[in-house]
Amino acid sequence: MPDFAANTAIIGAGLAGLGAAARLGRSGLSVDLLEAEAGPGGRLATLEITETGRQFDHGGQFVTVRDPALRMVMAGLLDRGRAARWNAHIVRLETDGSAQPHPVERFVGMPSMAGLAGGLAAALPLTVRPHYETGVSAIGGEAGAWMLRLTDGTVAGPYNRLVLAMPPHAAASLLRDRLPDLASRVGSVTMAPCWALLLTLPEGRKPGWDAAFIAGAGGEDRPFSWIAHDGSKPGRTPGGWVAHTAADWSIRHRQDDPALVMERLRAAFTALTGMEAPATAARLHFWPEALPLAPLETGFIWDAPNGVGLCGDWCLATRAEAAFISGHRLAGAMGAA
């Protein structure tokens, strides 16, 4: 049997691709799940600093669960130890310096955010075959017989149906040659970038909360929208801190010299938390397509005549659970039970 022999190809193994793959697979449909990275998860990611071995959840920080389909999936992940509740002191930090509790049920991957996607991938039905380190560089062929050119130069297909489960600009560039109208609709969705400041600080020092949403974020003196003691999550080593810049600030500073960004963010971190952020303890990561500014709210796109679907947070709402639900709903529209 050839390596790529399924009826449907899903490109992207983030939460959206995993949500679609699980439902299509459960209906007995054969799926090739093609992912450019070495493992699943996409923006729900973990970064390891090689010099120290310390891991940070540098992308999605937690997952909320409102949808019944995702609640069932999360129950399975909790049972199998791939997720845990994050029962931390999480606040909204007001501009006057006061901190208001922000109590919502939040879940994290175990032992890191990447563990959650790993748990979802491990539970995929046997009819779904994941292919990691398998980037797609172009779509060829035609409706009913789509061919995928892979980044190693080989070709996969033909596929009856395609699902693009990736951020909109990446999807638009793959669609442009064969389906230009769909590409321009998808390409019009704007994603904000994000700078992530990652810090390793001495244990024991805390600003009185574990994580904070920052009110009034985005101005020059208030760049962060979120600061968290990564070490307050279950299964993590204490002392790791993650701070994310707000969309407005990130857009204005997307082209800046990383060294200057680092300097400004370290100063802002100290101003907000009262904790020193030495340069030797700091790393910076840039997310070019972090969060959708104005998601479509249609839930997904399904172009039935061409057999091409799209899903992701940008089709529904700005959070991880929306990505999963988007994939799950798309699979339903494609006929999965």
Least spacing, CB of residue 241 vs ligand FAD, in Å: 14
Q: Which CB atom, from 115 or from 312, has the smaller least distance to ligand FAD? A: 312
Least spacing, CB of residue 148 vs ligand FAD, in Å: 9
Q: Which CB atom, from 136 or from 272, has the smaller least distance to ligand FAD? A: 136
Least spacing, CB of residue 3 vs ligand FAD, in Å: 15
Q: Which CB atom, from 72 or from 205, has the smaller least distance to ligand FAD? A: 72
Least spacing, CB of residue 204 vs ligand FAD, in Å: 25
Contacting residues for 178 by C-beta, under 8 A, at least 6 apart: 139, 140, 141, 142
Least spacing, CB of residue 4 vs ligand FAD, in Å: 13
Least spacing, CB of residue 43 vs ligand FAD, in Å: 4
CA distance linking residue 151 with residue 156, whole number of Å: 11
Least spacing, CB of residue 296 vs ligand FAD, in Å: 12
The C-alpha R_g of the chain, in whole angstroms, comes to 20
Contacts 24+ apart (CB under 8 A), 118-122: 118/39, 118/40, 118/41, 118/82, 119/76, 119/77, 119/80, 119/82, 119/83, 120/15, 120/18, 120/22, 120/40, 120/73, 120/77, 120/82, 121/13, 121/18, 121/39, 121/40, 122/82
Q: Which CB atom, from 22 or from 36, has the smaller least distance to ligand FAD? A: 36
Q: Which CB atom, from 165 or from 179, has the smaller least distance to ligand FAD? A: 165
* Binding region for ligand FAD (CB under 6 A): 11-17, 34-37, 42-44, 59-64, 135-136, 165-167, 170, 194, 196, 244, 287, 290-291, 312-313, 319-321, 323
- HSE toward the beta carbon, residue 185, CA cutoff 13 A: 13
Question: In Å, what is the CA distance from 27 to each residue of 35, 121, 127, 262?
Answer: 22, 16, 9, 48
Q: Which CB atom, from 205 or from 252, has the smaller least distance to ligand FAD? A: 252
Secondary structure of 83-134 as H, E, C letters: EEECCCCEEEECCCCCEEECCCCCEEECCCHHHHHHHHHHCCCCCEEEECCC
Q: Which CB atom, from 37 or from 248, has the smaller least distance to ligand FAD? A: 37
